Amino acid sequence: MKQRVLNVVGARPNFMKIAPLMVEYRKHPAHFDPVLVHTGQHYDDNMSQLFFDQLGLPKPDVYLGVGSGSHAEQTAKVMVELEKLMLKDRPDLVVVVGDVNSTMAGALVAAKLCVPLAHVEAGLRSHDRTMPEEVNRVVTDALSDYLFTTSEDARVNLLREGIDDGKIHFVGNVMIDTLLKLKAESLKSEIRQRLGLTGKYGFVTLHRPSNVDVRETFAEILSALDVIQKELVLAFPVHPRTKARLEEFGFWEEVSRWPNLKLIEPVGYLDSLCLMTGATVVLTDSGGVQEETTVLGTPCLTIRVNTERPVTVTEGTNTIVGASHARIVEEARKTIHGHGKRGRVPKYWDGRAAERIIEVLRQRK
Ligand code: UD1
Ligand code: UDP
């Protein structure tokens, strides 16, 4: 049976996850007829188009153009548009990746239309329901027929929620498929020269609402970055949510005067990998960056109180430091003095996760 597979993406971290699958479908034209749908959750060129170009993604077959909004608005808009599309298109399978609002919206529409659903990156749990992504993960997994996991702990989480073991497939990490494919290419990036990063430097990304939407928390994190930038140059591509908060809270002017903190626009995937590879330390609250630094062997300090990706801590280079000034500075100093955490690459983070997923999907009756 040739399967028409509707692949739903919407936000920056979705693009590197779907890219290796799009390549694999094309290797099996007798089995798959893939359709790529971009919801438009992220729409700035440097949050979307740039990634399509650098990851070699095909132009989306359908662009829903939903844009920004509150959680309910954004989720609802994706659902309304996707439902129209699926009623017309009648796919045999819907594939969603990650944990953003577009992921959960795609899952809900598929489930209500009784279209089989696959979730790539299933079973991650921070066990923190105040995190919007955690709600998206729980809902998406509850509705999925195929749950593709990146680590063994994910299976345990899913079984605890009553999900049938037969639906769970430990396949590895598609994000790392993309990293391994493009690592050599990323090292040709001239971003370091452009930013004048000739010696040691750190790389910073922040965008979690719990960090940047709360004035006091954001101020505390920034005060730690202020201390660190006096000892280590920091490159900080600023996510649009974070930029808006820096301005709204009146922090932008002061922070942009700190001499060794380089506030820049969000960078493309290749520049991001290049910067992470050469960094002495990465300070982040990103999900994907915790995984990428583990594979690159770069010490990562996660500015959160928990992680849904514990394998990056138990096996990789990740340390959870919370949002306290003292701990962030203390751990950053360790890395500056050459005592950053080392680790190993988790099982199946080997560049072949998409291949394993396609193997499972090919067997569908
Ligand atoms: C979203 C995801 C988050 C993911 C992150 C990756 C949800 C609930 N959140 O968070 O899980 O880690 O993407 O980057 O799905 N904006 C722009 N231009 C854009 C996109 C957004 O200016 O292209 C601004 C808008 O003001 C918007 C805000 O950023 O309101 C937040 O965007 P949104 O997609 O709602 O959430 P993110 O914080 O990006
Ligand atoms: N990334 C990027 N440019 C940046 C910041 C991050 O290309 O300026 C990449 C990063 O390397 C990783 C992905 O974006 O591949 C992670 O996405 P993000 O942090 O937005 O979302 P999360 O993983 O937290 O959901």
CA distances from 236 to 70, 204, 243, 275 (A): 26, 5, 11, 10
Given a cut of 80, whether residue 277 has pLDDT beyond it is: yes
Given a cut of 90, whether residue 365 has pLDDT beyond it is: no
Residue 22's nearest CA partner among 355, 359, 360, 362 is 355
Confidence at residue 344, expressed as pLDDT on a 0 to 100 scale = 98
Q: Which ligand is nearest to the CA of 245?
A: 1
Confidence band, pLDDT 50/70/90 cuts, at residue 81: very high
The Cα 243–Cα 223 span in angstroms is 17
- Given a contact cutoff of 8 angstroms between Cβ atoms, the answer to whether 170 and 348 are in contact is yes
The one catalytic residue among 207, 239, 325, 339:
207
Cα(205) to ligand 2 centroid in Å equals 8
Please say if 71 is a catalytic residue: no
pLDDT digits (tens, 9 = 90+) for 152-167: 999 999 999 999 999 9
Which residues surround ligand 1 with Cβ inside 6 Å? 11-13, 41-44, 47, 68, 74, 99-101, 132-133, 207, 239-241, 244
Confidence at residue 245, expressed as pLDDT on a 0 to 100 scale = 98
Given a cut of 90, whether residue 55 has pLDDT beyond it is: yes
Question: If phi over 0 gives left and psi between -120 and 50 gives alpha, with beta otherwise, what is residue 172?
Answer: left
Given a cut of 90, whether residue 61 has pLDDT beyond it is: yes
The Cα 185–Cα 52 span in angstroms is 15
The Cα 266–Cα 213 span in angstroms is 18
Cα(12) to ligand 2 centroid in Å equals 6
pLDDT digits (tens, 9 = 90+) for 202-222: 999 999 999 999 999 999 999
Confidence band, pLDDT 50/70/90 cuts, at residue 1: confident
Confidence at residue 34, expressed as pLDDT on a 0 to 100 scale = 98
Ligand 2 neighbourhood includes 292 CB (under 6 angstroms): yes
Confidence at residue 78, expressed as pLDDT on a 0 to 100 scale = 98
pLDDT digits (tens, 9 = 90+) for 230-258: 999 999 999 999 999 999 999 999 999 99
Q: What is the mean pLDDT of residues 335-354?
A: 98
- Given a contact cutoff of 8 angstroms between Cβ atoms, the answer to whether 87 and 115 are in contact is no
Confidence at residue 167, expressed as pLDDT on a 0 to 100 scale = 98
Name 65's bridge partners. Answer: none
As a whole number, the mean pLDDT across the chain is: 98
Q: What is the mean pLDDT of residues 96-124?
A: 98
Confidence at residue 338, expressed as pLDDT on a 0 to 100 scale = 97
Question: Which atom of ligand 1 lies closest to the CA of 69?
Answer: 30
Q: What is the mean pLDDT of residues 313-340?
A: 98
Name 318's bridge partners. Answer: 300
Confidence band, pLDDT 50/70/90 cuts, at residue 186: very high
Residue 11's nearest CA partner among 36, 48, 66 is 48
Which residue's CA lies nearest to atom 13 of ligand 1? 11
Please state whether the predicted TM-score (pTM) of the whole model is above 0.95.
Answer: yes
